[in-house]
Amino acid sequence: MGQQTIKMIASNELLAETLRLKNDGYRLVAISCSSKGGMELSYSFDKDYNLITLRFPTDNIEKIESISIIYPFSFLYENEIKELFGVKIKDISIDFNDTLYTIPVKTPFYEQKEEK
Amino acid sequence: MSILSMSKTLFKSMLHGPYTVLYPIKKKENYERTRGKVENDISNCIFCGICEKRCPTGAIKVEKARSAWSIERLKCIQCSYCTEVCPKKCLSMGNQYTSPSFDKVRDEYVNARVPDHTENN
Amino acid sequence: MGKRTVIPFGPQHPVLPEPIHLDLVLEDETVIEAIPKIGYVHRGLEKLVDKKDFQQFPFVAERICGICSFMHGMGYCMSIESIMEVKIPERAEFLRVIWAELSRMHSHLLWMGLLADAFGFESLFMHSWRLREQILDIFEETTGGRVIFSVCEIGGVRKDISPDMLNKIVGILNSLEKEVKEIAEVFINDTTVKLRTKGVGVLSKQAASDLGAVGPMAKASGLDFDMRTQGYAAYEKLKFKPIIETAGDSYARTSVRIREVFQSIDLIKQAIALIPEGDIRVKVTGNPKGDYFTRIEQPRGEVVYYVKANGTKFLDRVRVRTPTFANIPALLETLKGCSLADVPILILTIDPCISCTER
């Protein structure tokens, strides 16, 4: 398999790093989020079978910029993360406002209380 | 310009006859590896409860005090994970499917034999 | 400027195998734009990591979708094996490749039948699915199930195939190849099929790469991208070249998928000739710790598995990014400018598998 690298960045460097990768010719593969043991977002990009992941820790209070100005079709990933985890992403190009999956429970993948 | 390209296939299927089986008059035989339903050889079972812990859906219930082993047929997903972890190899996978039913079916097997050297009270 | 109307398409439609909803904005029968809405089959399967431990999770992973079910189980098991650094025996790798290529064949034959049904050619639809039945019988005889196999586990595979059965598979594939050739000729040469698919929904190479299209959708536009060339799970010992077309319309996508069926038959015959003797599984003890990205090639494109484990027997996170999720933006782009009667054909050319998309 090609190589996989994970790069830790700070949340305000996100737009600068993605613009640099876009000019290099990378394409967006996936945006993932995991919430146990601290919430963190991972943005994965690929070119010629090499995978680069930008990762930064966050919480559901800080507002994060959307990358849909650089990669216009990342709106599906960001709407899903906003609905399931409650991360506040602003300025998405098409914002569904929590009606993508219409689940009756709010943010089911992130528990508000401190339990497993 | 090709308009009658399907004619060869259609002609062959007219001569061949039906490809399907006339169910329920004739039934198709299941293969020997088909995963139909779980069966238990109760005289060898030691009621250790490993199958109950490993079942992904929780369909199996084991009661050691009563020597009873029961399985809820409509919850079982026929994955045969229990047949692999059983230490005495008394669980096996038969190749006939459970018949459809209206409500939940719980099959229970009880070992009514009492060993010779124990008291019966 | 003509009058604009909005027509809802789906979720129930005779041509769709699974529910998806599109709001089509039309101006006098030409589509201007489309707004998607998904979420009809969302079951929240990724939340089950809280309740099922990592050895019971392959059974959940392979029930994400019915058509690509083996590859989901295989991808999950490969991720856990990479985290725990377990090397599985070679015979198990070859067996996984044989089942994976048979899965690819049955998925493409199902798709060919659905495409024929979309433009009303019902006898072609029935014949494609009749050929698919022979592959499902092979699955039942070797693994025990027609659609959900439950044969992949962490550390190898659970059932073995005897040499007699392998020779029988080669015999079935030889006769199947002749029959698929007859059906394929109808798709490639028939005039009515060409009228409905040539020039419809063109996606240029630059647009495909900007939108992140994967699988046969990208291969038909000229992008050379196939994860099998990276050589996971015994693919490095097999010789093949990815199939590329440059036209970028629906006819090219049909042609790519039909040629992939023949390529899969060839790969299975190569794998059966090279398969070594040996064990099929390896015992795995302990709990995984760490995280990993695995990418494999499903019939519809590239799928990404992200597994994060923390040292106990329950995992932290399993994330599956399926190829249909990445092809939806490409669909929205090709729909602009087509006429209303072409919309079902275009939705089917991305091969939508919505239950994979929404897990």
Minimum CA–CA partner of C192 in chain B: B3
Contact A41, A30 (CB under 8 A): no
Q: Are strands B106-110 and B91-94 parallel, antiparallel or unpaired?
A: unpaired
The arithmetic mean of pLDDT across residues C134-147, rounded, is: 88
Q: Cα separation of C142 and C121, whole Å?
A: 33
C167 found inside a domain: yes
Mean per-residue pLDDT of chain A: 76
Minimum CA–CA partner of B2 in chain C: C190
Mark which residues 2-61 of A lie under 8 Å from C by CB: 2, 4, 27-30, 32, 34-37, 42, 44, 49, 51, 53
β-pair partners for C296? C303
C69 found inside a domain: yes
CB-CB under 8 Å, B2 with C189: yes
CB-CB under 8 Å, C124 with B78: no
Domain encompassing residue C224: 42-352
Mark which residues 208-267 of C lie under 8 Å from A by CB: 209-212, 227, 230-232
Can you state the percent helix, strand and coil of chain B, rounding each to 5? 15, 20, 65
Tally of CB atoms within 10 A around C167: 11
Q: Cα separation of A78 and C168, whole Å?
A: 49
Domains of chain B plus CATH, in order, are 30-110 (3.30.70.3270)
Contact B111, B43 (CB under 8 A): yes
Q: Cα separation of B100 and C193, whole Å?
A: 42
Contact B54, B86 (CB under 8 A): no
Q: Cα separation of C193 and C327, whole Å?
A: 24
Q: What CATH number is given to the structural domain containing C161?
A: 1.10.645.10
Tell whether B35 lies on the interface with C, counting CB pairs under 8 A: yes
Among C359, C343, C357, C353, CA closest to C30: C343
State the Cα torsion A29-A34-A38-A40 to the nearest 10°.
Answer: 10
What is the DSSP code (8-state) at residue B98? P
pTM, rounded to two decimals: 0.88
Compute CA C42 distance to the chain's CA centroid, rounded to the nearest angstrom.
Answer: 19
C57 found inside a domain: yes
The arithmetic mean of pLDDT across residues B78-100, rounded, is: 83
- B2 or C175, which is more confident? C175
Q: Are strands C152-153 and C156-157 parallel, antiparallel or unpaired?
A: antiparallel
Contact C221, C213 (CB under 8 A): yes
Chain C residue numbers touching A102 (CB-CB < 8 A) = 39
Q: How far apart are the first and last CA of chain B?
A: 90
pLDDT of residue C1: 60
Minimum CA–CA partner of B32 in chain C: C141
Q: What is the helix (H) or strand (E) element at residue C308, kind and residue range?
A: strand C301-310
Cα Rg of chain A (Å, integer): 14
Q: Cα separation of C331 and C297, whole Å?
A: 20
Residue A104 clears pLDDT 80, i.e. is over it: no
What is the DSSP code (8-state) at residue C281? B
Q: What percent of chain A has pLDDT over 70?
A: 84
Q: Report the length, in residues, of chain B.
A: 121
C357 found inside a domain: no
C112 found inside a domain: yes
Residue A81, token pair as written in the block: 């993360």
C14 found inside a domain: no
The arithmetic mean of pLDDT across residues C198-203, rounded, is: 84
The ipTM of this complex is 0.83
The arithmetic mean of pLDDT across residues C222-243, rounded, is: 82
Chain A residue numbers touching C44 (CB-CB < 8 A) = 103, 108
Tell whether A110 lies on the interface with C, counting CB pairs under 8 A: no
Q: Do chains B and A touch (3 or more CB pairs under 8 A)?
A: no
The arithmetic mean of pLDDT across residues C289-294, rounded, is: 84
C16 found inside a domain: no
Residue A3 clears pLDDT 70, i.e. is over it: no
Contact B36, B94 (CB under 8 A): yes
Q: Distance (Å) from the C-alpha of residue B101 to the closest C-alpha of chain C?
A: 21
The arithmetic mean of pLDDT across residues C135-144, rounded, is: 88
Residue A106 clears pLDDT 80, i.e. is over it: no
Contact C89, C156 (CB under 8 A): yes
CB-CB under 8 Å, A102 with C295: no
Q: Residue C191: which of B1, B31, B93 has the nearest Cβ? A: B1
Query: Domains in chain C: how many in total?
Result: 1
Domains of chain A plus CATH, in order, are 4-90 (3.30.460.80)
Angle at C18 (CA atoms; ends C13, C20), nearest 5 degrees: 70
Question: What backbone torsions phi and psi does residue C76 show, to the nearest 5 degrees?
Answer: -65, -45
Q: Do chains B and C touch (3 or more CB pairs under 8 A)?
A: yes
Question: Using 50, 70 and 90 to split pLDDT, how confident is the model at C174?
Answer: very high
Contact B74, B105 (CB under 8 A): yes
Minimum CA–CA partner of A68 in chain C: C211
C97 sits in the region (left: phi over 0; alpha: psi -120 to 50; else beta) called alpha
Q: Cα separation of C307 and C80, whole Å?
A: 7
- With tokens 């991360």, the residue in question is A87
CB-CB under 8 Å, C211 with A30: no
- Identify the residue among C50, C295, C310, C319 best suited for mutation to test binding to A, counting A beta carbons within 10 A and taking the highest: C295
Query: What are C75-98's pLDDT values in tens digits?
Result: 888 888 888 888 888 888 888 999
